A and B are shown apart, each in its own frame.
Chain A
Amino acid sequence: MDKHKYSKKTITKLKRLSSLPVVRALAALCFVVFIGMIFNADGAFFKWDTHRDMLRHISVFGILACGMTLVIITAGIDLSVGSILGLTAVLFSLFSIHLGWSPFFAILVCLLAGLGCGLTSGFIIDRFKIQPFIATLAMMVFARGLAKWVSGGQKISTAVLQPDGTYKYVEAPKIFNFINSKIFNENMAVVTLIFLGSILICWVILSKLRWGRHIYAVGGNEEASKLSGIPVTATKLLVYGASGFFCAIAGICQASQEIQGDPEAGMTYELTAIAIVVIGGTNLMGGTGGIGLTLIGAMTIGYLEKVLSINAVGEASRLMLTGVIIVGAVLFQKYRK
């Protein structure tokens, strides 16, 4: 009789534990890692290099997802992240390769450009009460056009067009090599550190700052927030600004990795960023979620792609499988009660 009671208590405890979003997100991640351990491609999965490359590969998406998390917690969405990434990648290459600016200025101007794009979306959303989906869709198209206009439709690479019509190859600035390098005995990519830094910044924003409390409040109940004296306009504006800012960071990383500024860069990245946030368990309805979940979501998607690629699964099957697994992961998140 007593034993029965005890086990019942344990079950309720486990049930309560399994209803936590973090636990559910971790379960999905563990599942993917577990699959990787079984289909380990002759031990390739157990090498650190595989994990390092996974992290490196997911970093740019992850940085985009950081800003996206803030936006989604306010019950918004930002479709323009891929285009802003493309724009800032072009700008960064233009400034540092062609114009020979110092890295400091190039980075500063790019970050400001990203911030500006985000604030513009936020302003349109708040001032004219346009749905975030529509406003950022417009920004997505506009920023892509701007990237093509600035670059003349060409990739901005180390081949610089001379006045006489010939190309002269210049050396890529050191900053490109640095961002693209791996440190700690080649064990950690710099972009991954930038990604983790972005996560840390968002964590501070969401759980330590007043602004973070306001972000959750606005996403949870905008009307009640307004009536409690919360500056709803400023909160939303800054959230989209922050998203644009993180896009610029991602754009700089992307340009460094490719050693060029491709105006087409970042196409469909917004979808991956949203997928990362949602798989982590942050609700698209706003008001709940967190940046830790996004980190887990990013790793889940990263491992998923890695496991499929080291097992040489063809691209067609890979995409189909990814689609199925996204639905599975989100369904898994949903069944909590």
Chain B
Amino acid sequence: MTHIEKSFSGIRVLDNVSFDLKKGEVHVLAGENGAGKTTLIKIISGVHTNFKGDIFLNGRSVHFLSPSHAARYGISAIYQEMSLVNSMSVRDNIFLGREITNSWGQLDFNKENEISHEILDRLGIDIDLARPVGFYPLSIKQLIEIAKALVFKSNIIIMDEPTSALNSVETTYLFKIIKDLKEKGRGIIFISHRLEEIYRIADRISVLRDGKYIGTDQVDKLPSHNLVKWMVGRELKEQFPERKSHKKNKTLLSVKNISLNSPNKEHKFKEANISFKIHSGEILGIAGLQGSGKSLLLNTLFGTYGKVNKGKIILEGQNYSVKSPKKSIHMGLVLLTNDRKKTGIISDMSVKENMTLACLEKFIKLGWIQKKKEQRIVRKNFDFLNIKAVSIDQLISNLSGGNQQKVVLAKWFMTQPKVLLLDEPTIGVDVGAKHEIYKFMNNWSRQGIGQILITSELPELLALSDRIIVLHRGSITAEFKRKEATQEKILQAAMGE
């Protein structure tokens, strides 16, 4: 495709972008959030039909009118925003819109089951096809989404951040499939924020920045520091800022023999028996595969699922019985959730209103909101966190992922917490904003705040944590000091070996 231009309500989001994909190659599309990657692939896959420029498929000019039109030409896409119907079964979702029927027009369940099984096997997951999709966690949903695209034997497959919800084992399966597809001569467009993954899978890399085309190169001719320079437009000296330990000897939070709560009162890890300590100014990393209970652990401590029945939690020397998020926030224990859209932001509200959501009490006098005071304090934090928005009254949904995440971080920081529970703080956040978030975390350590960090990016975990504990099926299998931890050791412990 050449010279693509696209504008949304007068704002040009793509400006003269050209892009090409060869047979049997993986072409990575890189760039920060808001660079226009998603818009570009939505044009390729027929979601956006109103644009300037031309698309050529096998040398012939084409103009897709809808995603199903593009699909007929062998182009299918896996989007960031999931296109699954939660209430329908796994099988029905995989075949949604292209159901297999027999000659009477009846649905052919046997054949659908057979094909589903085969594809899910290749993806390395064994799940009940008749269960509704909503029953499964995010990572399984993402794999089902991928299965959906694979059922269609497309020549061009577009994957928009398919790995953001996957752990390293699942990612390995996915990469194996991608290599398979490559050998069969299919072309793959792949978007990811993880540099390490980009270098594992890419043949060629193209970079967009602020809607402009920056360049394309073979992967071996584009070392990572050059790639980052292309993406952010300046040189980031290091991926992670220098980190000094601010760990003090004062124990902030200690957890003794607690069990894990989970939604729907279903106790997945009956045997769970978790104990650990966190000191003032310390960043404690928690590693573990998807489903190891690491996210449940943070939610249990925060009180998302109500009371904790077993064990003891001591916060600053005082016994703390977990009851509800409200009480935890009051006690200075706050949780940044891993699903920004679903549990982090309120998209109909402004940046300001989102920021003060958890600390509104500070601006209340007899039930009335003191708007001037609110405005003043929000503005201070807004400037401090370097949030890029037109004003504090802008709707949060109009911000990029990285800036939304900064607003959510501001929301929690403004409650003046003692312990910050961070569940994937950099998910769906671009390189520049990630770097800033790392710096904030360092800053908070310096102030004596204890932080517990979960992240599916191991390099990030290794670079930021003072200490790392590893969970496997709801129990701690290993603990490493900063110096002793390596990716291999952590992965081994995470897999229960």
Contact = CB atoms under 8 A, between A and B. Distances in A.
A337 B342 CA distance: 23
Contact of B342 (A217, A223, A228): A223
A181 interface: no
B349 A217 contact: yes
Contacts of B368: 208-210
Contacts of A225: 346, 357
Contacts of B369: 208-210, 213
Interface in B332-374: 335, 337, 342-349, 353, 357-358, 360, 364, 367-369
B481 to A, nearest CB: 32
Interface stretch (B99-107, B132-140, B145-153, B323-331): B323-331
Contacts of B324: 229
Given A221-B345, A221-B347, A228 B367 contact: no
B209 interface: no
A241 to B, nearest CB: 15
A228 B358 contact: yes
Contacts of A67: none
B300 interface: no
A221 B369 CA distance: 21
Contact of A220 (B346, B360, B411): B346
Given A15-B9, A210-B360, A221-B347, A229 B367 contact: no
Interface string A203-235: 000001111010011011101111111110000
A76 to B, nearest CB: 15
A231 B326 CA distance: 8
Interface residues of A, number: 24
A226 B325 contact: yes
Interface in A89-136: none
A213 B353 contact: yes
Given A15-B9, A208-B369, A229-B358, A224 B326 contact: no
Interface string B363-407: 010011100000000000000000000000000000000000000
A229 B302 CA distance: 11
A242 to B, nearest CB: 14
Nearest to B337: A227
A223 B325 contact: no
Interface in B271-329: 302, 304, 324-326, 328-329
Given A213-B360, A229-B330, A287 B367 contact: no
Contacts of B364: 210
Contact of A229 (B326, B346, B348): B326
B304 A216 contact: no
A225 B367 CA distance: 18
B357 A287 contact: no
A227 B346 CA distance: 11
A211 B364 CA distance: 10
A229 B328 CA distance: 8
A156 B335 CA distance: 58
A216 B348 contact: yes
A288 interface: yes
Nearest to A231: B326
Contacts of B10: 12, 15
B404 to A, nearest CB: 12
A229 B349 contact: no
Contacts of A213: 353, 360, 369
A210 B358 CA distance: 12
Interface in A174-228: 208-211, 213, 216-217, 219-221, 223-228
B39 to A, nearest CB: 16
Interface in A237-296: 287-288
A228 B411 contact: yes
B337 A287 contact: no
Contacts of A15: 9-10
Interface string A39-76: 00000000000000000000000000000000000000
Contacts of A227: 302, 304, 325, 335, 337, 343
B349 A216 contact: yes
A227 B9 CA distance: 34
Contact of A228 (B325, B330, B348): B325
A337 B9 CA distance: 8
B367 A210 contact: yes
Contact of B344 (A210, A211, A224): A224
Given A210-B364, A229-B326, A220 B347 contact: yes
B61 to A, nearest CB: 29
B367 A209 contact: yes
A212 to B, nearest CB: 8
A229 B329 contact: yes
A209 B304 CA distance: 26
Nearest to B361: A210
Contacts of B357: 217, 224-225, 228, 230
Contacts of A337: 9
B257 to A, nearest CB: 26
A7 B355 CA distance: 37
Contacts of B302: 227
Contacts of B330: 229
Contacts of B9: 12, 15, 337
A226 B325 CA distance: 7
5 contacts: A12-B9, A216-B353, A229-B324, A229-B330, A230-B326
Given A225-B357, A229-B325, 17 more contacts: A208-B368, A209-B367, A210-B367, A211-B367, A217-B349, A217-B357, A223-B343, A224-B342, A224-B343, A227-B335, A227-B337, A227-B343, A228-B325, A228-B358, A228-B411, A229-B326, A287-B346
> Top 8 nearest A-B pairs by Cβ distance?
A287-B348, A220-B346, A229-B326, A229-B329, A220-B348, A228-B358, A228-B357, A221-B346
Interface of B: 9-10, 302, 304, 324-326, 328-330, 335, 337, 342-349, 353, 357-358, 360, 364, 367-369, 411
Interface of A: 12, 15, 208-211, 213, 216-217, 219-221, 223-231, 287-288, 337
